[in-house]
Amino acid sequence: METFAVILGVLVAIAVLLFVLSRVLGSPQSEWVQADDRARALVEERIRPIGRLITDPDDLAVPVQVVEAAPPADEPEATTAMGGEAVYASACAVCHTQGVAGAPVTGDADGWAARIAQGMDILYQHSIEGFLGEAGYMPPKGGRMDLSDDEVRAAVDYMVERAGG
């Protein structure tokens, strides 16, 4: 127990010595920073706020301008729907050209036969909502959530036609 007390005392003495040494060596630096106008300006520049919150409108230096929104157009902009082949090329071909994740390859009548036999409504539903089956995974809308349901149906029709269905 005496050895432990001696070691602990030495460690405390070293810690106190380091503290005193850092205060002695750091003191001239802090005095220099406080005395030097250029150094003080640099410190103030680094710690200055980047903005301020004004809650009273009378305190604003620049008057607030109210901008009115443009009136809504009478006719909505027409969006052009992509055809089945364009949707296939932009979304479906990634998986259906190589059979990725169990996807039936486009043009493979045998791979599509069981799916076509389920009916077009099921094919549309699985293509739009997504499907997880034993053969693989079909993400909703082929991962292109920006496609409309009609565009996805057109792509399914395109692939079924290519499979001879």
Half-sphere exposure of 76 (CA within 13 A, CB side): 3
Residue 131 has φ and ψ, to the nearest 5°, of: -160, 140
28 in any annotated domain? yes
Q: Please give the Cα distance from 115 to 1 (Å, whole number).
A: 82
How high is the pLDDT of residue 139?
84
79 in any annotated domain? no
How high is the pLDDT of residue 103?
84
How high is the pLDDT of residue 80?
61
Share of the chain above pLDDT 70, in %: 82
144 in any annotated domain? yes
Alpha-carbon torsion, ordered 23, 28, 31, 36, to 10 deg: -150
Tally the domains of the chain.
2
- When pLDDT is cut at 50, 70 and 90, the band that residue 12 belongs to is very high
How high is the pLDDT of residue 71?
64
Condensed to tens digits (0 to 9), the pLDDT of residues 14-33 reads: 999 999 998 887 766 666 66
Tell whether the model's pLDDT for residue 143 goes beyond 70: yes
Average the pLDDT over each of 18-22, 44-48, 77-81 and give the range with the smallest value.
Answer: 77-81
Condensed to tens digits (0 to 9), the pLDDT of residues 83-124 reads: 888 888 888 888 888 888 888 888 888 888 888 888 889 888
Picking from 43, 7, 9, 153, the residue whose alpha carbon sits closest to that of residue 88 is 153
120 in any annotated domain? yes
How high is the pLDDT of residue 123?
84
Tell whether the model's pLDDT for residue 138 goes beyond 60: yes
**Boundaries of domain holding 33:** 2-47
- Specify burial of residue 87 (Cβ count, 10 A radius: 0-12, 13-18, 19+): buried
pTM for this model (two decimals) = 0.51
Average pLDDT score, the chain: 81
123 in any annotated domain? yes
* Residues 42 and 89 occupy one common structural domain: no
* Residues 92 and 156 occupy one common structural domain: yes
* Residues 157 and 99 occupy one common structural domain: yes
54 in any annotated domain? no
Tell whether the model's pLDDT for residue 60 goes beyond 60: yes
Angle subtended by helix axes 149-162 and 120-129, to nearest 10: 130
